Structure 1
Amino acid sequence: MKKNFIIVAAVSTVAIASTATSCVALATSSVGLTIIKQVLLGGITKGLNIFKDKNSFLSNNLIDQAIPTQLQKVNSTLQSIGLSSLVAKEKDYIAQAAAYTVGVAQPILTNAVNNLTTEDAARIAQGGSGVATQILREKTESQLIAAITPKVDEKLNQFGIVKSINTALSGSNLLGSLLGNNNSNSSALSGGLSHLASQQLVNGLFNIIQKHEIDNTSLLKNALNQNLK
């Protein structure tokens, strides 16, 4: 009995290994890469379409959840001193700035997807749900921040929100402590708010792409299985 058990276990292990190898082989084929790219490009399109629409941006929980901790503290402080309306304006202006970044974000993300390698595909096939987005983020995050921040900075300064928040928090050490420095003068938030807003945009965009990937995991797996037959 024990000998039979060992034989069955060995056969099962070989079968599992064979299936895993087949999945990796398919993922790294032209068909597998095409499927992976389609899913990611669909998530990118979905995210950037949300960026283009201010109301969709403001009502999206994945974007709201992406607000950096420092910016949350700034907003909480403003609300605590009776300036909730200023926080609402800030969020509105960031939403408008988001639409202004689509033109620079799209080619960076699209190029990265189109240049996915067979090594990337193998990692995606062997990883769990959301790995494709994780790899895309590794390849593009720093480039996106660098490209988006000047656009966001331009828009937020055009709207005057940086000056408004600086004025609201001037005369105290609140701003410096919130941004992690000791500077409480009128330039403390210059660049800081734009960088924090840019982080929110990038984090939110990847949240949307990953959600799209997870929602389409079964579709991706089914497509791979169909091609295995």
Structure 2
Amino acid sequence: MKKTAITCLLVSFLLSACGGLQEVINQASQQTTQTQIGQTQIANGLKEALQLGVSKQVSELTTNNGFYANELVRITLPEELQQVEKTLRSVGLGSLADQGIKALNETASQAVKEATPIFVQAISNLTITDAKQILMGANNAATQYLEKQTANQLYDKFSPIIQESFTKVGADKVWAELITTYNQIPLVKKVNPDLTNYVTQQAMNGVYTMIEQEEVDIRTNVANRSTILLKSVFALQDNK
């Protein structure tokens, strides 16, 4: 009888201990799941913010005069050509200089149309670890991430498009006339600039500038957090 009683007590104790252990395991599992969901929401919130920047701001750059009419990203002449512009205006050829500048901006708008798929891929690659660092980082941390992930691809994509666009928008003829006219002016130092490389770099700068504008707006202005996800995720940043 004693053996049976002792055995029963041991069984009861073990069952009780196992039940308690299982409860602890369940609670730990639930906490892990909740933490994981929170981290996933952070990643999704940052992806949504970047997607907004791309869809809203970058698409505007592809519209008519998207670069030229935007003072933040308008492409002006490179330093070595500023003397060209000044000289042409001084001899009454300001309209030709204006045409040349506008043509550069039009080629950039053409190239940016090809940017979205590259950005979409980079955004989809954003990890939970990336997201946590970005959320608590600088006001342009997400843009910096995107630039790091896409700069090389964008340059490779933009450069041939811009070269082709020079012909498409007539910029090649405008600049051929502009440079030829300038080089015929007595005593000037002749120029032959690499405008494809210059406009490619400027187009990329413009894209990142506009995405950064959207990111800063979302981070600093609660009213610009247009979805529940953005509101909840960036509220964490507000309290850092």
3-state SS of paired residue (1:223): helix
Q: Which amino acid aligns with 1:174?
A: K
1:132 aligns with 2:142: yes
3-state SS of paired residue (2:233): helix
Give 1 or 2 for the bigger CA radius of gyration. 2
3-state SS of paired residue (2:73): helix
Residue matched to 1:7: none
- The one-character-per-residue Cα deviations of 1:50-103 (angstroms, maximum 9, x if unpaired) are 222123432212112x64743762544544454321232123323332342244
- The one-character-per-residue Cα deviations of 1:35-61 (angstroms, maximum 9, x if unpaired) are 101111111112332222123432212
- Check the 8 A contact 1:100/1:152 in 2, yes or no: yes
1:161 aligns with 2:182: no
Q: Whole-Å Cα distance in 1 between the matches of residues 80 and 112 of structure 2?
A: 22
Higher relative contact order (CA 8 A, sep 6+): 1
Cα 1:75–1:30 shift into 2, 3 Å: farther
Residue matched to 1:224: 233
Root mean square deviation of aligned Cα: 2.9
Q: Which amino acid aligns with 1:162?
A: W
3-state SS of paired residue (1:98): helix
1:87 aligns with 2:93: no
Residue matched to 1:203: 205
Q: Whole-Å Cα distance in 1 between the matches of residues 38 and 123 of structure 2?
A: 14
Residue matched to 1:18: none
Q: Whole-Å Cα distance in 2 between the matches of residues 75 and 120 of structure 1?
A: 45
Residue matched to 2:28: none
3-state SS of paired residue (1:29): helix
1:105 aligns with 2:115: yes
Q: Which amino acid aligns with 2:182?
A: L
Residue matched to 2:215: 213
3-state SS of paired residue (1:128): coil
- Check the 8 A contact 2:219/2:234 in 1, yes or no: no
Q: Which amino acid aligns with 2:111?
A: T
Structure 1: runs of 5+ lacking an equivalent = 1-24, 177-187
TM-fit CA distance, 1:152 = 1.0
TM-score (norm 1): 0.70
Q: 2:79 aligns with which of 63, 70, 73?
A: 70
When structure 1 is superposed on structure 2, of 106-115 and 122-131 the one drifting more is 122-131
Number of residues paired by the alignment?
Answer: 190
- The one-character-per-residue Cα deviations of 1:183-216 (angstroms, maximum 9, x if unpaired) are xxxxx23xx1121112111111111100000001
- Check the 8 A contact 1:28/1:119 in 2, yes or no: no
Residue matched to 1:53: 63
Question: Map of 1:4-83 to 2, 5 A cutoff?
Answer: 29-64=39-74, 67=76, 69-70=78-79, 73=82, 75-83=85-93
3-state SS of paired residue (1:63): coil
- Check the 8 A contact 2:65/2:106 in 1, yes or no: no
Q: Whole-Å Cα distance in 1 between the matches of residues 147 and 62 of structure 2?
A: 21
3-state SS of paired residue (1:129): coil
TM-fit CA distance, 1:141 = 1.4
1:152 aligns with 2:162: yes
Cα 1:213–1:226 shift into 2, 3 Å: closer
